[in-house]
Chain A
Amino acid sequence: MNDHLAPAYKWFKKKKWQPFPFQEKAWKAYLDGKSGLLNAPTGSGKTYALWIPCVLEFLRDHSPEEVTPEVRVLWVTPLRALAKDIQRAMQEVCDDMDLRWEVGLRTGDTTSGQRQKQKKKAPQALVITPESIHVLLSQSDYPNFFKNLKAIIVDEWHEILGTKRGVATELAISRLKALNGSGLKVWGISATIGNLPQAKRVLLGEDFYKDAVTIRADLNKEVLVESVLPDEVEKFPWTGHLGTKLLPKILPIINRSKTTLLFTNTRSQTELWYQALLKFAPELSGVIAMHHGSMDHDIRGWVEDALHAEKLKIVVCTSSLDLGVDFRPVDTVIQVGGPKGISRFFQRAGRSGHQPGATSKIYFVPTHSLELVEGAALRESIGEKKFESRKPLQKSLDVLIQYLVTLAVSGGFKPLQILEEVKSTYCYRLLNATEWQWCLEFITTGGKTLGQYDEFAKVYNDDGIYKIINKKAATKHKLSIGTIVGDPALKVKFITGGHVGTIEESFISRLNSGDCFWFAGRNLEFVRIKDLTVLVRKSNKKSGLTPQWMGGRLPLSSMLADKIRQKFEDSVSGIYADIEMQTIKPILELQAKWSEVPTRKRLLIEKTKTRFGHHIFMYPFEGMFVHEVLGGVIAMRISRIQPISFSISMNDYGFELLSDQEIPIEEALELDLFSEENLFPDIQESINMTEMAKRKFRDVATIAGLIFQGYPGKGIRAKHLQASSGILYKVFEEYDQENLLIKQSMEEVLTLQVEHSRLLEAIRRINQQKIVLKETIKPTPFAFPILVDMFRRQNLTSEQLSDRIAKMQLQLERVANKQS
């Protein structure tokens, strides 16, 4: 055995490194033919733990001269931006060992020339994204291309698990296993999460996971959390307001570090912070850069290279720099705004201080003063080594439909054979015959109730083989492969040439020619849109809009939420153990004076009136997503008492119901507002009454191929095939109630978003709490962030539309007066 490892030891010795025990364990397990899961953080040498045995396996079974063009290893990475770094590191190993392997790159950025080259002369390993595997599966010669595959290694599995990309990965693996039999090894690499055994089972599949091994890096890493504290706390915390005010305290941290990564929670925040830093410290010009997923990949590549080359002092970034290889020069990490989860925060902290045994330090910058409680909660949670679970998805029919069409494009599939493979995945292990049949019918006849659609052209059942004959349909499908649904994105380009990145159509559509906006750190003047490209020129103006990108914000994890509740409870008993809690003491005191500080034993409800209308605030501290559903069901139950319309807003701490009429909360509480009885039917009804399911349907419909987005920047849009998901939803709701994609959207609100169990736990907890209703003269410090943030809003009404419209005159009159 050790003979087979010799080239690895030799290589490590040459590098003057000592292999970690976990790396040696992984080499041995792999060479034993095992599959498994490696639990190791970014920057720990995890790449060498699993790449080296792939090379060793070849050297064991072949002489180095026997290299033939065949793909032996797929290295799956979630982020194409960082694929290049991994490829470089993998290639280096081969070159150093004098093995003439080529490590190729296959992502959405790979040019058609490179793709053709790979087709003609296959590289021995491919660094690839989950989407690109599916694109390869849509090509007719894929069984031949993949026939000598020895290993699939999925990097950063914790990031993909729990998403539809994870489901797509499961499906791809099921197909590749069937092509290669038991000779194939499947490995995952995951940072520490709460459900590692389940993570292993999901990746490896029902057939592989039992015999597989788990290897832990167990690098004891100390993480220090330090909050950046404001000198004075504002009593009415306004989201986003505080952060940049703390610049005088942040700059010294940057100055005394070699290289700092400053993480923000959204791309918009990244743009804002980059501007604010440059304005506050012009001397940073030239050594400051920014990095987010909408920037052009060449620019991102430049930033990554400059990071490696120690040319940058600070990079303002989003989660786009969470993953991938190590940026060795980074010695300081700053997190702006609550990271919402312990695992994520811990992983970010690990971006600094990589040497084994070294301490990682992370600074936490609150965006409003109340958020400081998260700093205290995070520190304690990390100390206790508690990590969240990433819950895998179940039965995502949209992804299955897309996969089946993919196989239909590449020469067709036999349903029974594919069903068996599909059922070997964790996601579809409980798929029943009806659901499977529905999917088959959906892609062939358009669905059961629409069986008479003779013109429906997608997949044909050609003597037991399901395939696509229509070339156009095949091309359209190939362009739509993927499960990341964004707002239609437009390319941003200088009028003189040169790409800047992509921007969402919904933002650009609000601009007039001549308007300026910040993008990739530059102020750009919008000129016009041409061929799905936004043409801009540089602007010297100092002001401009900041683009909003969809998505991005994560809800508070229930583990962290629990910790936060505990911190508030401590403060009520007079315990202010953390500096953060001491700092926000004035806010808590004001809250106590006007109302009370919510604790675990009491559910606080506040009632107040402002010029906007009548407000009810509730503080269950369950995270934004739970509040969205809970707010909906509570509003729905109240709306049964009398015809009433609500606007519902929420943040991680609570939610608000706003109405133009007085809300009968006392009456509602007497009628047992939080009853567990009929909870799920009521939730379903409220989901129907709000936009929640409709919003999910947008993703579901796009993945299932009902909405053709075109390809970002490729300028392809199908003629006469545009319909918004809203219209499709309405049509299906009215004419095709059995449509399982509508049902899936509903189910996703309940599972993806909140998980049945978490919602039920929340209601149960509330039912054990004493309900306290406080009427306040003004919104309290706890209410204020919900009131002004308005990040997510939805409406629910039990009034007639005409009654509602009749009440809208006031507003219109005001507008009319203003104009005349």
Chain B
Amino acid sequence: MKGSVQLLGPTYEFQFLDQHLILDASKAFFWKEENALVVADLHLGKAGHFRKHGVPIPREVHVTDFQRLNSLISDYTPDRILFLGDLFHSDSNEEWLDFVTWSNHHKDVEQILIEGNHDILDADSYQQTCMKLAARYQAGPFLLTHEYEESEYYNISGHVHPCVYLRGLARQGARLPCFHFGVSSALVPAFGEFTGSHAIRSKKSDQFFAIGDGQLIGLMG
């Protein structure tokens, strides 16, 4: 598929470094070997944080986030969920209580938060939940962190909310969130609805899976 755009459907099983990753168009992936669902940058509570500062963002934004998360859990029945950081946007607000409820509801699933720069809640807050905290997560060939870290392992991180810009004839273009697999590291798109995105530059031999229209689109840089 080098040099082309391929519509791959709502999920795509990507074999990479002898691992099986099911990339999902709802901006998460399921890691078969670890039986883990990997989700980055939810930024829950962002709407509440804005409201607290006088910007009226509807709460429903995060309700959708939870709904999407729930359907992923029922689709893949993972043993664990790895949150790649920036789970909660800022200081506590009442939307945290929604998460506490959600977390306890899914107590059968191991929940691990690889802490990100936005995760500034104190340890007490997490005690109300089933969440375990970690700085990084290593298994198989991968090292999972929030921000990119150099190591002997292949790094998978979130943080940048990656997207790509596609161009077509007649000045057509589209900006799409994406998974990005480079030579030594990969980026996972932001899961949260109420988040922005950052265009990343493509290099030769990079592989992209953009998301649009509920579909994964395979691209080679």
Contacts and interface: CB of A to CB of B under 8 A. Distances in A.
B182 interface: no
A473 B166 CA distance: 41
Given A802-B212, A817-B3, A810 B169 contact: yes
Interface string B159-177: 0000000111111111010
Contact of B172 (A456, A458, A804, A816): A804
A516 B71 CA distance: 51
B56 A720 contact: no
A201 interface: no
Contact of B52 (A450, A456, A800): A456
B100 interface: no
Interface stretch (A130-138, A574-582, A724-732): A724-732
A820 B5 CA distance: 17
Interface stretch (B130-138, B142-150, B213-221): B213-221
B50 interface: yes
B90 A660 contact: no
A727 B195 contact: yes
B53 A658 contact: no
A664 interface: no
Interface in A429-453: 442-443, 446-447, 449-450, 452-453
A608 interface: no
B125 to A, nearest CB: 16
Given A645-B172, A802-B7, A807-B168, A456 B194 contact: no
B54 A473 contact: yes
Given A456-B52, A612-B170, A809-B5, A735 B215 contact: no
Given A802-B215, A808-B167, A811-B168, A457 B174 contact: no
Given A476-B53, A705-B55, A647 B204 contact: no
Contact of B56 (A450, A723, A726, A811): A450
A560 to B, nearest CB: 29
Given A727-B194, A735-B60, A820 B89 contact: no
Contact of A647 (B53, B93, B172): B172
Interface size class on chain B is 35 or more
A721 B50 contact: yes
Interface string A701-742: 000011000000000001111011011100110011000000
A1 interface: no
Given A658-B171, A805-B174, A812 B5 contact: yes
A697 B83 CA distance: 33
A660 B173 CA distance: 12
Nearest to B210: A805
A32 interface: no
Contacts of A795: 171-173
B68 interface: no
Contact of A719 (B47, B51, B90): B90
B7 to A, nearest CB: 6
A513 interface: no
Contacts of A457: 51-54
Given A720-B49, A720-B90, A806 B54 contact: no
Contact of A723 (B50, B52, B167, B213): B50
A807 to B, nearest CB: 5
A736 to B, nearest CB: 5
B80 interface: no
Interface in B174-221: 174, 176, 193-196, 204, 210, 212-213, 215, 217, 219-221
B221 A816 contact: yes
Nearest to A801: B213
Nearest to B48: A455
Nearest to B195: A727
Contact of A660 (B55, B168, B193): B168
Nearest to B55: A706
A685 B24 CA distance: 32
A217 B217 CA distance: 68
A806 B4 CA distance: 9
Greatest chain B CB density within 10 A among A452, A659, A705, A809 is at A809
A813 B4 CA distance: 6
B1 to A, nearest CB: 10
A807 B61 contact: no
Contacts of A449: 58
Given A720-B90, A807-B169, A817-B3, A802 B213 contact: yes
Interface of A: 442-443, 446-447, 449-450, 452-458, 472-473, 476, 612-614, 645, 647, 658-660, 705-706, 718-721, 723-724, 726-728, 731-732, 735-736, 793, 795, 800-802, 804-813, 815-817, 819-820
23 contacts: A447-B56, A453-B51, A455-B52, A455-B94, A457-B54, A659-B170, A660-B168, A720-B90, A723-B50, A723-B194, A727-B196, A728-B55, A728-B57, A801-B174, A804-B168, A805-B7, A805-B166, A805-B176, A805-B213, A812-B4, A816-B220, A819-B221, A820-B204
Given A455-B94, A660-B169, 20 more contacts: A442-B56, A446-B56, A447-B56, A455-B52, A456-B51, A457-B51, A612-B170, A613-B169, A660-B168, A660-B170, A728-B57, A731-B193, A801-B212, A804-B174, A805-B166, A807-B169, A808-B5, A809-B5, A811-B166, A817-B3
